Amino acid sequence: MGFGPAARAQPAAPWQPDPVLSGLMVQQLVFGPDGYGWVATDEEVRRYDGYVAVPLSQLVRPGSVPAPRGYAQLAFDPAGQLWLGHDTGLYRFVPATGQLTRLPLPLAPNEPSNVQALWLDARTGYLWLGYGTGRLLCFDPRRPRLPPQPPPSPTGGREVARFAPASGGAVWATATTTIVVLDGHGRPRRRYPSPGFFVVPVPGTRPQQAVSWQAAFAVDSATGHLREQQRWLPGALGFDTRFSPQLSAAGQPTAWLAQGRSFALHWAAGAAPPTVRAAPVPASPGGLAAPPPDRVYSLVRNAAGQRWAFSPGFRGGYRESPPLAVRPLALARPSGNPSVRGLARLPDGRLLVSTYGGAFTQAADSPAAPCGPGPCAFPVARAPILRATTYW
């Protein structure tokens, strides 16, 4: 299906190479509540503050289990603990203390302990993982009591590749040959045959819809199979689990980069397929322009609205460079023209402005409010730039 004139968008903001991520093979990027980025690479997991990427092995407290080497699945729980799913099992890291522990998984004799999928359901706070020979667990990370016996495989022994939210508190588990709808405790409720290519189910759609990086699909009520509704990129559809689009708050795929274009999806209510807008990735010196046709770039947004792009399995990472809105900072009690020495975010969200004439603070989430003098109740230290929103 081709694009009509209304489906074309203006070029988006350019993507510049991130000075640190460009040298890494980024497989996953997540952000913790403290603002740090955590990067899963082929070599190891690293903490990234916008300046340096520190290996997890250097952050682990002495006496903990050694940090796993190689790629790991990452997920944060509501308490700010980082969970790692690895070929050697399941790990929990507490950034505040540096404590790293390994939780033994219930397995059959001689069964591998590799974790293939790890996901936190923000609706319930439960952690879901697919591991071993298609086994699946969900538990409360605040009270991680794992069963002593291995649970049965809801996918017939096929490895779980991805979890996604479904309507009514249910969860999708996608494997190579089947897609299973599970209740909130991991019990199978319904199965769909896999279409033979990887898709991300869209929660809350009836009939059920799904998206690959090339097309949108809906379940045929007569056959129970996914049928293509519209296509925005040609070529054979493949089971490419590297496709990890930016998701909306409702769990709907909304954006990614592929074949030199930036895709944005808008989901309307009802059974209508999404409105698709495509724009060429803008060229910029040293930036991400005309990516190779075999690469699909995932998009990740942090709490401050900054976005990063990376293609799992390929080296490199890019940061979006939108135009900056420049405006003066108003002072509640101006005294001449103070010279600004530095800007930082305090833990309570206020903006701290340091000048030669004194320190000023601005209310959190109020970029137009005047800055007033006042004591600083928190120690000032270099915060990760991944967390800060810069005002000029």
The tally of CA atoms less than 13 A away on the side-chain side of residue 279 is 13
Q: What is the pTM (predicted TM-score) of this model?
A: 0.78
What per-residue confidence (pLDDT) applies to 109?
Answer: 93
What per-residue confidence (pLDDT) applies to 158?
Answer: 86
What per-residue confidence (pLDDT) applies to 361?
Answer: 83
What per-residue confidence (pLDDT) applies to 233?
Answer: 86
CB atoms closer than 10 angstroms to residue 386: 22
Domains and CATH numbers, the chain: 5-320 (2.130.10.10), 326-392 (no CATH)
Per-residue pLDDT of the chain (392 residues), as tens digits, is: 333 333 444 445 678 889 899 889 999 999 998 889 999 999 999 999 888 999 999 999 999 999 999 999 999 999 999 999 999 999 999 999 999 999 999 999 999 999 999 999 998 999 999 999 999 999 999 888 888 899 988 888 888 888 988 888 899 898 877 889 999 888 899 888 777 778 888 888 888 888 989 999 988 888 888 888 899 988 777 667 778 899 888 888 999 988 888 899 998 876 788 899 998 887 666 667 655 667 889 999 888 888 999 998 888 899 987 654 556 667 766 666 667 777 777 766 778 887 777 788 887 666 677 788 765 544 444 445 454 433 23
What token pair was written down for 365?
Answer: 């989430």
What per-residue confidence (pLDDT) applies to 244?
Answer: 87
What token pair was written down for 69?
Answer: 């080497």
What per-residue confidence (pLDDT) applies to 284?
Answer: 65
What per-residue confidence (pLDDT) applies to 333?
Answer: 66
What per-residue confidence (pLDDT) applies to 132?
Answer: 93
Query: 207: which residues sit within 8 A by CB, 6+ positions away?
Result: 218, 219, 220, 221, 271
**Contact in structure between 83 and 90 (CB atoms under 8 Å):** yes
Residue 15: burial class (beta carbons within 10 Å; 0-12, 13-18, 19+): buried
What per-residue confidence (pLDDT) applies to 327?
Answer: 63
3-state SS string for the chain: CCCCHHHECCCCCCEEECCCHHHCCEEEEEECCCCCEEEEECCCEEEECCCCEEEHHHCCCCCCCCCCCCCCEEEECCCCCEEEEECCEEEEEECCCCEEEEECCCCCCCCCCCEEEEEEECCCCEEEEEECCCEEEEECCCCCCCCCCCCCCCCCCCCEEEEEECHHHCEEEEECCEEEEECCCCCEEEEEECCCCCCEEECCCCCCEEECCCEEEEECCCCCCEEEEEECCCCCCCCCCCCCCEECCCCCEEEEEECCEEEEEECCCCCCCCEEEEEECCCCCCCCCCCCCCCEEEEEECCCCCEEEECCCCCCCEEECCCCCCCCCCECCCCCCCCEEEEEECCCCCEEEEECCEEEEECCCCCCCCEEECCCCCCCCCCCCCCCCCCC
Residue 291: burial class (beta carbons within 10 Å; 0-12, 13-18, 19+): buried
What per-residue confidence (pLDDT) applies to 224?
Answer: 81
Residue 74: burial class (beta carbons within 10 Å; 0-12, 13-18, 19+): buried
